[in-house]
Amino acid sequence: MRLCDLYYCQPLLFNSKRLNYMNKNIKTMLWIAVALLGAFAVAGIALNRGESINALWLITAAVCVYAIAYRFYAAWIAAKVLVIDETRATPAERLDNGRDFVPTNKWVVFGHHFAAIAGPGPLIGPTLAAQFGYLPGTLWILIGAVLGGAVQDMVTLFFSTRRNGRSLGQMARDEIGVVGGSAALIGTFLIMIILIAVLGLVVVNAMKHSPWATSTVAATIPIAMLVGVYMRNIRPGRVLEASIIGVVLLLLSVGLGGWVDHHETLRSLFDHDGLPLAYGIILYGFAAAVLPVWLLLAPRDYLSTFMKLGTIMLLAIAIVILRPDMHMPAVTQFVDGTGPIFGGKLFPFVFITIACGAISGFHALIASGTTPKLLGNERDIRMIGYGGMLLESFVAIMAMIAATVLEPGVFFAINSPAGVVGKEAVDAIAKINSWGFAVTVEQMQQLASDMGESTLFSRTGGAPSLAVGMASIFGSAFGKELLALWYHFAIMFEAIFILTTLDAGTRVGRFMLQDLLGNFNKKLGETSYTPSVILTSSIVVAGWGYFLYIGVIDPNGGVNILWPLFGIANQMLAAIALCVATGILVKSGKLKYAWVTGMPLIWLVTITTSAAYEKIFSADVRVGFFAAANDMAAKLAAGTLPTDKVAVAPQLIFNQHLDAYLTMFFVVVLWVVILDMVRLCLRYLGGKPVLKLSEVPHEPSRLVENWVRD
């Protein structure tokens, strides 16, 4: 290059550097503004007392917190802690078998993962926890998701991907040792059974005696299978076409449900008690576990994601338009443990009631189950793992808003069990008014009529009240004359949310059991071996089907007996996942980064152990399992039980004892895994021999090579 050329280029180089410097400053200022806005919104929520707060504050706080966390914290973990390598072949590429291991479009994988993890937790948990007020749950959702839930999901997905998509329990056995690993294998499987049962129970309570909801949810199954066949056989690779067809059919199914509800003959075909619906869900779970992933599971979850994200975005838009005030107090009198929806004080029960919206062990099962078997490239782990959890946390914020914009009297009339407030509407209203929350019989009757339901009293489980809240917001923003349609659309939205987690969970349970049996018989450990598929799927479905049956026959709706067990088990599972991750980080020579998983681990161990102690030893019959069983047994012996409870009392007493012993077992499993992980870390740091890392050797990705070449 001539000197004069260099001379003339200097101004261009200077201007380019100046432009880059200006862009960097603009970005820095923009992120500082986002951080300040988020801090101001969170402070406004936390410090506000007395006057009603606008729901827009919650949305602003959530969006700002999530943006900062994803841009900086998640990026740092991906680059420095995990060291993601996008040129490395994933198990989906290396082990592609067309059934379980299938390299899949990243957006389809994101859709499957999000649909699978976003079960009842982000919807039902915040709704139930609203009995404490909106403030405690909101703060836990934001802080727990950013520092705990999203971290757990991302690191578990990464470690499983580096280990051929191994399940969480098997990774524990391979990395920590036989004692802790075996405890984790058995414990995670049993916890999984409880989690799926509660998912099914919430769906049953939402569809019970609602032909509109039942017919709409039933229609989603053939629609998903049609989309699966379309994308694989009819028009391979035409994801957009299949998506449009599927979404249009799903929307039509909502309208068709209204027609079914008003058709005299068809209505009777879809109007059922809880037990027939439970049996139908059990059959569906078995089918989802044994059919090829491309036929039902992946397309259903993918379509469900459109419905979920579309509904949540629509709800957010409606809230921005309406800017509704939240009528529930920031903190209610029920923080002392006297709440009608479930017993227990604010600490620790708010942290186990809101599970998936903040941190959920179930996510670790999906992140080490189906998702790593579909992941095409490691670079997508941050988006799918961390980003998917943040999106679910936003769903939880929307659920909290939808629940707390209702008048408190209406909220408690819908969610309080008949056993607490009374069977008759007049008795229920009197009880709720005595708590200081105004509501009338006429108000509830009109509300039920507007929603197209016969009654909304004691519709426990959280799903109906959430649907009422969503319908009220949608109706106010887009037309109150369509309230019944909005209500049943919300019910379909919730049921799809939960069923996609149920089917993915059943399949993951099958993988977990196959991993466990593979330690004794290699053939049974093969995920595509048909006899093993049928055997393990049957065992998994029979297990959670029993607990679903328990919940359905419970006169109080089942949620108050199963949800606390669900929450404790779920958070203990998250603690086990963080234990495994912490152990792997230490063994990988990354002790200085172990706090990333160790910090949320310590918090989870604290709250789960405290909650388990309360549920086992509390003398309060609304909290302690043994106390409740003894109280019912005494009333049965004295002949003072209501008639409807006498027939099922022996079963309910047995179930309370079973729940207590399961909780004890889960606590033992958790502490065995923790102590074994601590032993492993101390041995490694002391220079003593430990199990070798089970990470598979690096193999270049041909998918990346083909992409670069093409």
* Token digits of residue 306: 């459109």
Instruction: Note the pLDDT tens digit of each residue in 71-105.
Output: 999 999 999 999 999 999 999 989 888 777 888 88
Question: Between these two residues, 258 and 617, which has the higher pLDDT value?
Answer: 617
Whole-number Å distance between alpha carbons of 678 and 109: 34
Whole-number Å distance between alpha carbons of 302 and 114: 9
Q: Is the peptide bond before 11 cis (omega within 30 degrees of 0)?
A: no
Give SS3 for 364: helix
Question: What is the pLDDT averaged over residues 478-490?
Answer: 77
Whole-number Å distance between alpha carbons of 323 and 326: 10
Q: Which among 64-73, 257-266, 418-427, 630-639 has the top mean pLDDT?
A: 64-73
Q: Looking at the predicted structure, is the pLDDT value of residue 550 above 60? A: yes
Whole-number Å distance between alpha carbons of 229 and 236: 9
* Across 106-115, 407-416, 610-619, least confident range: 106-115
Instruction: Collect all residues with Cβ–Cβ distance below 8 Å to 466 and sequence separation of at least 6.
Output: 123, 124, 127, 399, 402, 403, 490, 494
Q: How confident is the model at residue 1 (pLDDT cuts 50, 70, 90)?
A: very low
Instruction: Note the pLDDT tens digit of each residue in 164-195.
Output: 988 888 888 889 888 888 888 788 788 778 87
Q: How confident is the model at residue 707 (pLDDT cuts 50, 70, 90)?
A: very low
Question: Which amino acid appears at position 265 of this protein?
Answer: T
Nearest Cα neighbor of 666 from 323, 351, 349, 361 is 361
Residues above pLDDT 90, as percent of the chain: 25
Instruction: Collect all residues with Cβ–Cβ distance below 8 Å to 50 and sequence separation of at least 6.
Output: none
Q: Which among 23-27, 57-61, 227-231 has the top mean pLDDT?
A: 57-61
Whole-number Å distance between alpha carbons of 585 and 571: 21
* Token digits of residue 182: 């075996």
Residue with tokens 């929350």, as numbered in its chain? 437
Q: At what angle do helices 178-207 and 649-685 cross, to 10 degrees?
A: 140
Q: How confident is the model at residue 708 (pLDDT cuts 50, 70, 90)?
A: very low
Question: Between these two residues, 555 and 520, which has the higher pLDDT value?
Answer: 520
Whole-number Å distance between alpha carbons of 453 and 479: 19
* Token digits of residue 210: 């609602």
Instruction: Return the exposure string of 461-487: e unless at least 16 CB atoms fall within 10 Å of the residue's CB, then b.
Output: bbbbbbbbbbbbbbbbbeeeeebbbbb
Question: Between these two residues, 236 and 607, which has the higher pLDDT value?
Answer: 607
Q: Looking at the predicted structure, is the pLDDT value of residue 604 above 80? A: yes
Cβ atoms 337, 526 nearer than 8 A: no
Q: Which residues sit opposite 700 in a β-bridge? A: 88
Question: What is the pLDDT averaged over residues 45-74?
Answer: 87
Across the chain, what does the average pLDDT equal? 83
Torsion-angle region of 337 (φ positive above 0: left; ψ -120 to 50: alpha; else: beta): left
Question: What is the pLDDT averaged over residues 489-515?
Answer: 76
- Cα 56 to Cα 23, 137, 376: the distances in Å are 30, 16, 38
Q: At what angle do helices 239-261 and 211-229 cross, to 10 degrees?
A: 160
Instruction: Note the pLDDT tens digit of each residue in 333-392.
Output: 999 988 888 888 999 999 988 877 899 988 898 898 779 998 989 999 999 999 999 999
Nearest Cα neighbor of 194 from 487, 456, 567 is 567
Give SS3 for 339: coil
Q: Looking at the predicted structure, is the pLDDT value of residue 123 above 60? A: yes
Element (H, E) at 603: helix 595-617
Cβ atoms 574, 360 nearer than 8 A: yes
Question: Between these two residues, 420 and 391, which has the higher pLDDT value?
Answer: 391
Whole-number Å distance between alpha carbons of 654 and 546: 13
Whole-number Å distance between alpha carbons of 707 and 702: 8
Nearest Cα neighbor of 546 from 627, 654, 649 is 654
Task: Read off the DSSP letter of residue 590.
Answer: -
- Cα 399 to Cα 123, 453, 464, 474, 485: the distances in Å are 5, 21, 12, 13, 19
The alpha carbon dihedral of 630, 636, 638, 644 has a sign of positive
Backbone angles phi, psi at 434, to 5 degrees: -65, -20
Q: How confident is the model at residue 600 (pLDDT cuts 50, 70, 90)?
A: very high
Question: What is the pLDDT averaged over residues 437-460?
Answer: 82
Nearest Cα neighbor of 579 from 125, 42, 184, 126 is 184
Instruction: Note the pLDDT tens digit of each residue in 270-300.
Output: 887 778 888 888 888 888 777 776 676 667 6
Whole-number Å distance between alpha carbons of 615 and 625: 6
